[in-house]
Each structure stands twice: as structure tokens, then as C-alpha cells.
Amino acid sequence: MGGMGKETKIARVLIAISVVFGLFAVATLLAIVIGGLPARPGIFPAGALLLAAVKTAGIGFGLAAYRTIGRGDLARAGRYALVAGFLPPLDLIALFAGLLVIFPHGEEGAG
């Protein structure tokens, strides 16, 4: 991580935070499906299970973005983070991290 820019390090931390929050969301949704937590009226267990499956795919893309940043392929990592951010439910932390990695910054070119 020593050769990374400041924005890249921040994006990597944000992606890690997004993955941890995603794991908590999936655990909560699975608790609703299993019946450990009372669901609000209008939330069906099948819908919660479907949302948990989609969020798990988002976590997978978040992990792929985290590992790809470590390898130095920032464009691909940004795309993975954007996909993780746009999968329902919308993950603004991963979305911001993806945009932070993809767009070039003036500090890198100056010098």
C-alpha cells in the first residue's frame, strides 16, 4: 500500500467499510427470513431473501474491487466498486469509492 496515492488509500478503506456494512445488512435480512427478527408489515420473507442474495453479489463485487486496488488496476477496481454501489440496496459508500478511484486527480499529474 506504500505506492498508492491518498485518494486510492481512502477508496480502499471506504470499500472495506462498505463490505462490512453489507455483511451486517445480509445478516439482518437473513434473520428476518429465518424468523429471528420480526419483519415490518409489507416485508415478505421471499423478498428479504432475494434482497440478501443481491446484496451478497454486491459484497462480492466490493471484495473484488478491494483486491484489484491492491494489485494496482484502478480502472477495473473503480468499475467493480460502481457495480457494488448500484446493486440494490444502493450503497453510497461503495459508489463514492468507485468514483474516487476512477476519476483522475490533479495531484498525480503535477509534480
pLDDT digits over 14-46, tens only?
999 999 999 999 998 888 888 756 666 666 778
What is the C-alpha separation between 99 and 66, in angstroms, rounded? Answer: 14
3-state helix, strand, coil in the chain (%, to 5): 75, 0, 25
What is the C-alpha separation between 32 and 106, in angstroms, rounded? Answer: 46
pLDDT digits (tens, 9 = 90+) for 64-81: 999 999 998 999 999 999
State pTM to two decimals: 0.84
Determine the pLDDT at residue 10. 93
- Determine which helix (DSSP H) or strand (DSSP E) holds 13, and give its type and residue range: helix 6-34
Q: Read off the pLDDT band of 47 (50, 70, 90).
A: confident
Determine the pLDDT at residue 37. 62
